[in-house]
Structure 1
């Protein structure tokens, strides 16, 4: 088993995100929540707080699973960091550019494919799984759950 070095900056960022999410949830619970069809003033802040807390926990979990050996060179770690810094925002741009002309499913698949390039150790099997699950969850949340009028696949649905 190889040891790994945890990045303190990432741990602090994840902890801050968790703290902010918890504070927002605490404040939102003091307001009237309402229901999904008749949202009160605390409904949306509660959702944002839950999302921030979840993202913070995800950051902490992923950082604890990062497999950067102690003997990895600075160049190896720097190259991985730049790959992520370029490809993750690029995946969001791909999603934005594909959403209207192609639909929700192709845009989500494009996002997953481009973002997966940021992690060269991600297997093709996991990428395929993400490319199936992500559009399905997006459809369930936004089209079925929230009733947003999004085109699922242009020309088909």
Structure 2
């Protein structure tokens, strides 16, 4: 009987190749959806300009990752058999995004930005609580400067209940 984990046997080549392909596909979908809106020009940007630009950048990054994928000769079978999904990272990122949505609606930009970065940073086993706290504080300062002050995003810094 074959090992049931054989479907999870991804070498570094496969991970880079499939990850790049996924980014390319996602970027192309975003570009296609963005074209359904008015794109405009650099002088008068339409609502589709930003999604098309980000989708194109994402597709280019995906192509670069897939093109740079190299097949590594792995002689040890035990390295493939020890594959474990990184559940902590997945859970922290999903919980961070949910916290951003909820806190963004009821508490404002600053608590939402802090929560998404702090919770997501804890998904990395190498991060400590102090490093996640410093990172979240720095991103909060950055988000206030860029999104609230410079771009005038219509999300208040603090909002106590709604």
TM-score, normalising length from structure 2? Answer: 0.59
Long gaps (5+) in structure 2: 1-10, 67-75
Deviation at residue 16 of structure 1 after TM alignment: 4.1
**1:95 matched to which residue of 2?**
100
Alpha-carbon distance in structure 2 between the residues aligned to 1:19 and 1:8? 16
Q: 1:40 to 1:99 in 2, by over 3 A?
A: closer
Matched, 1:111 2:97: no
Matched, 1:43 2:56: no
Long gaps (5+) in structure 1: 61-69
Q: Is the 8 A contact 2:118 2:132 kept in 1?
A: yes
**2:41 matched to which residue of 1?**
34
Alpha-carbon distance in structure 2 between the residues aligned to 1:11 and 1:142? 34
Query: Max radius of gyration: which structure?
Result: 2
The runs of at least 4 aligned residues of structure 1 exceeding 6 Å deviation read 70-73
Total equivalences in the alignment: 138
Q: Deviations over 1:91-123 (max 9, x none)?
A: 111111111222111111111222122111113
TM-score, normalising length from structure 1? Answer: 0.61
Q: 1:56 to 1:108 in 2, by over 3 A?
A: farther
